Amino acid sequence: MGGEFFGKGWDELSNFLVVSYLEDVLVTATCKLNQDMWYYSSRGPGQYFGSAGTNQKPDVTAPTPENGLIVYGDEVKILSNGWGTSGACPQSAGLAALLLARDSSLDRDTLFQRIRNSAMDLGHGVHCQGAGLIDCQSAFR
Task: State how far the Cα of 80 lies from the Cα of 4, in Å rounded to an integer.
Answer: 39
pTM: 0.82
Intra-chain end-to-end CA distance of the chain, in Å: 34
**What's 125's domain CATH number?**
3.40.50.200
What's the whole-number mean pLDDT along residues 114-120? Answer: 97
Average pLDDT, the chain: 85
- Has residue 116 got a pLDDT over 70? yes
- The total domain count for the chain is 1
Of 2 and 85, more confident: 85
Name every residue whose Cβ is closer than 8 Å to that of residue 131 and which is 6 or more positions away in sequence.
59, 60, 115, 116, 117, 119, 121
| Confidence category of residue 15, pLDDT binned at 50, 70, 90 | low
Task: State how far the Cα of 1 lies from the Cα of 7, in Å rounded to an integer.
Answer: 10
In this prediction, residue 82 carries a pLDDT of 86
| Confidence category of residue 9, pLDDT binned at 50, 70, 90 | low
For residue 126, the SS3 value is: helix
What's the whole-number mean pLDDT along residues 113-134? Answer: 96
Domain holding 23, by residue range, is: 4-139
| Confidence category of residue 86, pLDDT binned at 50, 70, 90 | confident
